[in-house]
């Protein structure tokens, strides 16, 4: 066990320690954060692959006192180093994807260009490799009895983690905070696109019984049809409808309780940071006006905990980076809250 006798939680974060300046090694930590520096299929702006290392740096500015989960950090949070092989593979395939996206944006047929056919094949194969890698890493940690969190990267990254969670816990639901549905089928030709992660999860994971999406405000007609035909396996709270209900007098408490009531006992939180108001995450991959304040989302997460449901894991994705570290700072604070709630739910 880590010796905390000389550690001062009120002091400045020590960069020689781990995430949030905490003096834990992986063996001592109850919760292990797996960084996934991957953003191959992003369709607007890049940068999220470098988010984990930037969030690590910003985390040293986060105070360790959380009034909702006092001393949660004492359970031990540890973040692994970024895997350079994954990062290099993402960098290479991202350049390939940019060429491919530029090509199809001109309206040209992929089938008419052998190079583009080869590029698409390489990207899809790379995404399969990433999914398998994430599955293997998270599955091994879960078998060790660790609580596991995933830090992206783009929102395609947690699919392998969902599969590991399903093997560990059986039936479960996902609470998705997002500006987008992510229910597109092979968006832009990429089977495992960031815009397809929830479609793929629902298609490939039978024990994913419920997907509850909150804050959605940028979506396609096809996604609306998918939701309508899902036989309530997908429940979507559109940002517009949430706001209109509040304008007409309903409280966030009422709406949050309703959202939670749709969830099964075991809940995985999938947090795309573009679900927040973009003033909080302006450099996220695909920002959309509207969205939540952080405390609104934290309140919803706390309601999940108070309901007696069990939070079994989480991912935090799509955090952008900027020279003054605003996005990373917000990302680090969201990460800390999620870590505290996860350990509290499993104490």
Mean pLDDT of the chain: 96
222 has which bridge partners?
A: none
Examine the pLDDT at 46 and tell me if it is beyond 90: no
Q: How much is the pLDDT for 108?
A: 82
Residue-wise pLDDT tens digits, 189-228: 999 999 999 999 999 999 999 999 999 999 999 999 999 9
Structure tokens at 192: 């495992």
CA distances from 113 to 104, 120, 134 (A): 11, 11, 32
272 has which bridge partners?
A: 317
Structure tokens at 210: 């419920």
User: Which domains does the chain show, CATH number per domain?
Assistant: 19-345 (3.40.800.10)
Residue-wise pLDDT tens digits, 105-162: 888 889 989 999 999 999 999 999 999 999 999 999 999 999 999 999 999 999 999 9
The CA-to-CA distance between both ends of the chain, in Å, stands at: 17
Extract the runs of DSSP E, i.e. beta strands, from the chain.
Answer: 31-36, 77-79, 147-152, 172-177, 208-216, 234-238, 266-272, 310-317
Q: What average pLDDT does this structure show over 31-58?
A: 94
Examine the pLDDT at 99 and tell me if it is beyond 70: yes
Kindly report the number of other CB atoms within 10 A of residue 230's CB atom.
15
Q: How much is the pLDDT for 17?
A: 96
- DSSP at 54: H
Helix (H/G/I), strand (E/B), else coil: 42: coil
Helix (H) or strand (E) holding 328: helix 326-345
Answer whether 194's CB lies under 8 Å from 285's CB: yes
Extract the runs of DSSP E, i.e. beta strands, from 217-304.
Answer: 234-238, 266-272
């Amino acid at each position: 066990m880590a010796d905390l006798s000389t550690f001062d939680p009120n002091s400045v974060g020590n960069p020689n320690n781990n995430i949030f300046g905490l003096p834990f090694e992986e063996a001592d930590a109850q919760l292990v954060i797996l960084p996934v520096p991957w953003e191959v299929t992003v369709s607007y702006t890049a940068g999220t692959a470098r988010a984990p290392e930037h969030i690590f740096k910003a985390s040293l500015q986060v105070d360790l006192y959380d009034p909702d989960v006092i001393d949660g950090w004492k359970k031990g949070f540890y973040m692994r180093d970024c895997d350079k092989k994954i990062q290099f593979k993402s960098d290479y395939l991202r350049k390939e994807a940019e060429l491919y996206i530029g090509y199809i944006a001109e309206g040209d047929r992929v089938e008419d260009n052998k190079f583009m056919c080869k590029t698409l094949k390489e990207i899809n194969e790379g995404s399969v490799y990433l999914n398998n890698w994430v599955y293997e890493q998270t599955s091994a940690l879960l078998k060790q009895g660790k609580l596991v969190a995933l830090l992206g990267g783009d929102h395609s990254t947690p699919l392998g983690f969902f599969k590991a969670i399903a093997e560990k816990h059986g039936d479960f639901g996902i609470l998705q905070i997002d500006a987008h549905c992510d229910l597109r089928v092979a968006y832009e030709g990429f089977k495992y696109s960031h815009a397809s992660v929830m479609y793929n999860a629902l298609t490939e994971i039978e024990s994913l019984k419920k997907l509850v999406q909150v804050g959605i405000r940028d979506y396609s007609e096809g996604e609306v049809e998918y939701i309508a035909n899902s036989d309530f396996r997908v429940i979507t709270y559109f940002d517009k409808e949430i706001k209109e209900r509040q304008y007409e007098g309903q409280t966030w408490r009422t709406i949050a309780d309703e959202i939670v009531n749709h969830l099964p006992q075991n809940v995985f939180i999938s947090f795309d940071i573009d679900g927040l108001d973009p003033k909080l995450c302006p450099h996220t991959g695909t920002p959309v006006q509207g969205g939540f304040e952080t405390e609104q989302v934290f309140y919803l997460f706390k309601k999940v905990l108070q309901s007696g449901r069990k939070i079994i894991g989480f991912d935090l994705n799509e955090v952008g980076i900027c020279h003054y570290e605003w996005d990373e700072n917000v990302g680090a604070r969201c990460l800390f809250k999620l870590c505290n709630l996860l350990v509290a739910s499993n104490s």
